[in-house]
Amino acid sequence: MDQLLAKDPAEYPDILLVAGDLSSEGELASHQGFASQMKRLEDAGIAVFVIPGNHDLYNYSAMSFQDDTKVSGTDLYTTLDQFKEIYADYGYGSAEDQENYQIEYYADEKDSEGTQGGLSYILHVDGFALLMIDSEVYTQDVNGEETDRGTGDGMICDQLLEWILEKAQECEENGETIIAGMHHPLLAHNTTQETEFITDTVADSEALAETLADAGIRYIFTGHMHENDIASYTTVEGNTIYDLETGGMVAYGSPIRMVTMTKYADGTEEMTVDTESVTEAAMNAKLDAPNGNITDTEKVDVLEYELNAMYGGNFCIKPDLPLRGPLSGSVYGYSGSSAEHCGN
């Protein structure tokens, strides 16, 4: 937030899309703290829209600390209603409360409150539609339990998919370009094919990619996997969808994606994607904070901290990769990305 707000206001984005995992382990206090940071952006004129991730709702790993003792309990996690209240200004207020955007809620239109995908919505602005898809598995209808509880999995149920396709058809008729947001990746990303865990996509991902691309959805922003990458899928009918996966503060480079979308009079469009790193942040200079004191922080070089304190050099950073097709920019864009950062 500090780095973004230090820019010339003329460089501020119009909209910030946050694709889930807004909290540590779904703690109510964690969400409240994050929302207070989003308020800083809102006050600066940046519209913020969020969607939950697998950490955010009914997370039984929610915790706090009393002195040096970890405390867990269901009274610490965040429920669906609490999530909507906390983020009322960031996508979840009533449609009447949204002054600058027309917003439609899946739960209202499909009477799906309390079922999978219930926090999905779509908003319309200036020839674009921001489609925010709640892919999380935390409701009783899909989690296999008798109570709401997050599982960490991602899916799009049949009724949610039906609603998405209805909205895609409406957007096509209205000449709107859909930009989707979802926490779990739609596509497996070719930077990490080694293990099943690292290719943790939404369920039935290839079939969904085929369906969404053929419905006219070309861009979807995702997260979850702590990496920066862009993958694409082209259907039998020749339609391509791009999955723009963005890492967070725990991904090397602590990336922020800056995206410019342009629509031309002839109906063509162009998306420019660039990545910048968070360069400096206040944190403990050592992971083993003395006496458990994690409040005595200092500003450190984030990239150096990640290389040395967090990872110990046991990974390799790829050089910048150019994008092709209707996208331009670079996938990584980290300053100093070179072979010298390759470890074991």
- 299-324: per-residue pLDDT in tens? 888 888 777 766 665 555 555 444 44
Question: What are 322's strand-pairing partners?
Answer: 330
Q: Would you mind telling me the total number of residues written for the chain in this entry?
A: 344
Give the CA count within 13 Å in the CB-facing half-sphere of 134.
Answer: 33
Cα distance between residue 151 and residue 260, in whole Å = 35
- What's the pLDDT at 282? 75
Q: Which residue in 197, 196, 110, 199 sits closest to 157, CA to CA? A: 110
- Helix H or strand E encompassing 42: helix 28-43
Question: What are 136's strand-pairing partners?
Answer: 154
Q: Helices 158-174 and 205-214 sit at what angle, rounded to 10 degrees?
A: 20
pTM, entire model: 0.86
How does pLDDT run along the chain (344 residues), one tens digit per residue?
A: 888 899 999 999 999 999 999 998 999 999 999 999 999 999 999 999 999 999 999 999 999 877 778 888 778 999 999 999 999 999 998 655 566 788 999 999 988 778 999 999 999 998 999 999 999 999 999 999 989 999 999 999 999 999 999 999 999 999 999 999 999 999 988 554 444 445 689 999 999 999 999 999 999 999 998 888 899 999 999 999 999 999 877 777 788 889 999 999 888 899 999 988 888 887 665 555 455 455 556 788 888 877 776 666 555 555 544 444 444 444 433 333 332 333 33
Domains of the chain by range and CATH?
2-341 (3.60.21.10)
Cα distance between residue 58 and residue 64, in whole Å = 15
Cα distance between residue 272 and residue 139, in whole Å = 37
CA-CA-CA-CA dihedral for 22, 26, 29, 31, to nearest 10: 20
pLDDT tens digits along 131-181: 999 999 999 999 999 899 999 999 999 999 999 999 999 999 999 999 999
- What's the pLDDT at 325? 44
* Under 8 Å between Cβ of 127 and 45: no
